[in-house]
Amino acid sequence: MTEQPAPTVNYVEQLLELFAACGDKEAVVCAERRLSYAQMRTMVLELATKLRDRGVRPGAGVALLVRNTPESIALQLALHLLGCRTVWIARYPPYREQVEFIEQAQVEVLIYDPERTGRLTEELTHRAEPLQILCAGPGGQGPDLLEPVEPGTPEFVRAPGTPEPSSLFYTGGTSGRPRLVHHEHRFFLALLAAAGYYRSIGELGMRHLSTTAFVHVSGQMPALLTLAEDGLLLLAERVDLESFLDTIRDERLTSVFISPARLSELLDSPLLDGADLSSLRYLNCGGGPISPTRLAQGIERFGPVLRPVYGLSELPLVADQPFMVNDPEHPERLASAGKPFADTRIEIRGEKDELLGTGEIGEVCAAGSLVMTGYWNDPEGSAQTMAGGFLHTGDLGYLDEHGYLFLVDRKKDMIVTSVGAANVYTRPIEDVLASHPDVRAAAVIGVPDPGWGEAAHAYVVLAPDATVSVEELQELVERELSDLHAPRGIDFVESLPRTALDKVDKRALRARHYEDPERRTVSDLAPR
């Protein structure tokens, strides 16, 4: 990736100019609060003044453990105005992992919401070299940054020579240790450039509901894009289906994000019959594979607003399919992740990092202005993941002759089976199982098999009053794919376990498979 020249203007200063131009126009809605762009600008500048006065130095690493509120956005912008490195702590990792994350990130300051944490803050304040503690709200162990400023306080001005800001985001590592995804200033400048492009083509007035917290880069990207496009951002952490539909109707939302699990819930809900979704322009769906059957149902119900998106913490938007239709001439595109987003370039590479051709399955590799710089304080992991200037995603897929990307599996989830050591991918099996009218969801893992080395094992959620049998589903997969793909065993379950980010938790499925010491590794059916 070519290096960009050092910018002379901090991206936050550019945002604040936009905020000033928008004035009293509504910017952020959170529960009963409705803040204008002018109020958001004032909040950012006041927080920057308080942080500077509390001794937060330019370039410091500052950890944040806060809720999905306007203050979380304003804190990032204020810290980035100071040239700090923000370190976002997710709630869901185990306590020990949160501590390790903070230690790896070389944090000097912790800003936390007193309603959000307990044990973590206690340890950090009683260690040999305690962190400076600041609070986003009253009642905590440090000064409250949200107290009103003294009247007559001069407006904050960024000092010359302030370091470029950056952010660290948590992602789980394959070794079990957290990895710190490092996005530098150029990432945020690229977001503003993308917003400028959307404004230039008249894509203004976006009204986006953000249920993905600002702690995640996948939450920050649409939030900052919305604000940089003069739009309205609605913040929520947990929204049930009824509230979700009511909010779309009442706020005339044009953009929302849902997971594949939430899309299925929405399609199966009787609440959908009376819902008014006429304002939607983008019903973004991502965070995991979407079965073509469910996608076709969604397109039929919602129209071309349904937009599959594919991204990672390291590159929050790799590919998308805006304005998707169920094209009878290209039915295979229902299984596609779409085409590269913005300036992203996608290549498919083999086991020796060689470039593969059209239709050949290999690792999905990507480059572009939104790709991370690397993993913080992990040169070996960064060099491996960013080999050749491309992000190696760990996902397996292929490109068709029209440039559409098709994902078939996670590299670590691929099943090597039979005496010929054939590669079997779980995504096609899951899609075939989900195509049966009695099946609502399916997940496939590889398990040891004495005759095959590894074999596919499926967990299937059935529709109410379903009558399909294990044998019928095995025969369906064998007929549509091959005998190597047919699951040797199938468990019918009420639901699939999910991670905190609403992805199917295959690690939990593997653990469930081995919970029973008498667990057989093959089904009653002999290998075909």
Q: For domain 239-410, say whether CATH 3.40.50.12780 is its number.
A: yes
Both structure tokens of 347: 């290549």
Q: What is the pLDDT of residue 290?
A: 85
Coil, helix or strand at residue 190: helix
**H/E stretch holding 268:** helix 260-268
Coil, helix or strand at residue 320: strand
Helix axes 260-268, 292-302, angle to 10 degrees: 60
Q: What is the pLDDT of residue 528?
A: 32
CATH class held by domain 414-513: alpha beta
Which stretches within 168-259 are classed as H helix? 185-200, 217-228, 241-251
CA 302 to CA 169: how far, in whole Å?
33
CATH architecture of structural domain 36-186: 3-Layer(aba) Sandwich (3.40)
**pLDDT tens for each residue of the chain, 528 residues long:** 444 444 468 999 999 999 999 999 999 999 999 999 999 999 999 999 999 999 999 999 999 999 899 999 999 999 999 999 999 988 767 677 778 888 889 999 999 988 866 667 777 766 657 789 999 999 888 899 999 888 878 888 888 889 999 999 988 654 456 689 999 999 999 999 988 888 877 777 899 999 888 888 989 999 999 999 999 999 987 778 999 999 999 999 999 998 888 898 899 999 999 899 999 999 999 888 888 998 999 999 999 999 999 999 999 999 999 887 887 888 889 999 999 998 999 999 998 899 999 999 999 999 999 999 999 999 999 999 999 999 999 999 999 999 999 999 888 888 877 645 677 888 889 999 999 999 999 999 988 877 677 889 999 999 998 999 999 999 999 999 888 899 989 999 999 988 777 788 888 888 887 765 444 333 333 333
CB 49 within 8 A of CB 40: no
Residue whose structure tokens are 């590479």: 349
Q: What is the pLDDT of residue 343?
A: 92
Q: What is the pLDDT of residue 50?
A: 95
CB 394 within 8 A of CB 404: no
What are the residue ranges spanned by the domains of the chain? 36-186, 239-410, 414-513
Q: For residue 2, how many other CB atoms are within 10 A of its CB?
A: 5
Say whether 414-513 and 36-186 share the same fold. Answer: no
CA 468 to CA 255: how far, in whole Å?
37
- Predicted structure pTM score: 0.83
- DSSP per-residue string spanning 41-71: HHHHHHHHHHHHHTTPPTT-EEEEE--SSHH
State the number of CA atoms in the 13 A half-sphere of 439 facing the CB.
Answer: 29
Closest CA to 440 of 413, 473, 410, 411: 473
CA 103 to CA 84: how far, in whole Å?
17
Bridge partners of 255, per DSSP, are 208, 282
